[in-house]
Amino acid sequence: MTVSVVRKYKTFLRWEIYFVENFAIRCFYYHFFRFFARNFSVVIACVDDIKTRIETVRNKTDDSIIDEVKINQYLDAILTIQRKIDSIVVDIDNLVEDVNDFFNKNPSPELFLELKPSLESLCKTASKCYIRARKSKYYAGAKTSIKEFHLSISGLSEIIHDLELFLVKLPNDDEYKEIVNKINGVLA
C-alpha cells in the first residue's frame, strides 16, 4: 500500500467513525425525545389529575364534614355523663364506708338481713347502669369515670358478700364456732 492509499483509508475510517458516533447519538436523542414527549404528556395529565383530586379533598374538608356544634354537643354529653357517674361513685363509696362502719360497731345479723335486699337491689341497678355505660358510644370519652364506677360497684358487692359471710353464715357454722372458741381459749 502506498502512502496516499493509507491516508485515504485513515481519512475514510475517521469519517466512518464520526458518522457512526453521530448516528448513534442522533438515534439516541431521537428516541429519547420521542419517549420523553410521549411520557411527558402522561406525566402532565397525572399531575393535573392529582391537582384536581387535591382540590376536591380540600373542598370537602373546607365544608367541614364534622360540624363544630355536633362536636361540642358530644363533648358536653361526655362531661355530663362523667359528672353523673362521678357523683354516683362518690355516693356508693360513702355508702360502703358507712355500712362497713355501722356493722363494725353493731354486728347484728338481723339488721344486715333487713338491709341486704336493698343493698343487692342497688348493686344490680348499678351493674345494669355500668353495662349500659360500657356499651355506650360515650364510653371512649368517659372511660376513666366508668372504670371507677365499676370499682365502686365491686366494692359494694364485696361488702355485701363480706357482711353476709361474717354476720350470717359463719356464726351459724359449727366448725367456725369451734375454731373461734379454741382461739378465745388460747387468748384468755
Answer yes or no: do 177 and 136 share one domain: yes
Taking only the tens place, the pLDDT of each residue in 149-183 is 999 999 999 999 999 988 888 888 888 888 888 88
pLDDT at 133 over 80: yes
Grid cell of 169 as nine digits: 353464715
Taking only the tens place, the pLDDT of each residue in 46-63 is 667 777 887 877 777 665
**Which residues constitute the domain of residue 53?**
1-65
- Give the chain's domain count: 2
The residue among 42, 65, 88 that closes a domain is 65
Answer yes or no: do 137 and 79 share one domain: yes
Angle at 120 between CA 118 and CA 123, to 5 degrees: 110
Answer yes or no: do 78 and 98 share one domain: yes
Rounded CA-CA distance 141/136 in Å is 10
Which residues contact residue 9 at a Cβ distance below 8 angstroms, ignoring those fewer than 6 apart?
1
Rounded CA-CA distance 138/132 in Å is 10
> Inter-axis angle of helices 68-105 and 109-135, to 10 degrees?
170
Answer yes or no: do 29 and 75 share one domain: no
Answer yes or no: do 97 and 181 share one domain: yes
Answer yes or no: do 74 and 52 share one domain: no
Say what the pTM is.
0.61
The residue among 21, 50, 65 that closes a domain is 65
Residue 1 is given by DSSP the state: -
Answer yes or no: do 113 and 129 share one domain: yes
Mean pLDDT computed over 130-139: 91
Range of lowest pLDDT (5-19, 85-99, 130-144): 5-19
- Name the average pLDDT for the chain: 78
Answer yes or no: do 12 and 85 share one domain: no
Long-range contacts of 92-97 (CB under 8 A, 24+ apart): 92/122, 92/126, 92/152, 92/153, 92/155, 92/156, 93/152, 93/155, 95/122, 95/156, 96/152, 96/155, 96/156, 96/159
Answer yes or no: do 55 and 84 share one domain: no
Answer yes or no: do 100 and 155 share one domain: yes
The residue among 50, 65, 80 that closes a domain is 65
CA distances, 96 to each of 17, 154, 157, 168 (Å): 104, 10, 9, 18
Answer yes or no: do 161 and 97 share one domain: yes
Answer yes or no: do 34 and 124 share one domain: no
